[in-house]
Amino acid sequence: MHDHYPLIIIKEVNSDKDHIHLLVSIPPTIGVGKVVGIIKQNTARELKQKFPFIREAYWGTEAVWSEGYFVSTVGINEEVIKKYIQLQGQEDSGQTKFEIN
């Protein structure tokens, strides 16, 4: 039996060298940590199905992702965060620089 959760919307995705950035909309009835767990669990399962060698690389564990994560809530600055995510990996070093219109 699977738990049913309110709608989680992934609005933006991009990656850098060793991590992933997501802009996610979640309802106030579900905790951020729970959402992170759901996303990690579901993506790990899909990655293992699509790339079977991952099962061998992570033998003895169901985990693919590290336990840690960083979360920041977004209010009126959603477009700033979205642009930051879109530009990940485009700068050689340091923070990504972009103009705020």
Q: State the pLDDT confidence band at 96, using cuts at 50, 70 and 90.
A: very low
Q: How far is Cα 8 from Cα 30, in angstroms, rounded to an integer? A: 9
Helix then strand then coil, in percent of the chain rounded to 5, is 35, 15, 55
Over the stretch 44-74, which tens digit does the pLDDT of each residue have?
889 889 998 888 887 777 778 888 888 887 6
Q: What pTM, to 2 d.p., does this model score?
A: 0.66
**Stretch 31-50: mean pLDDT:** 90
Proportion of the chain above pLDDT 70, given as a percent:
78
Residues with catalytic roles: 84
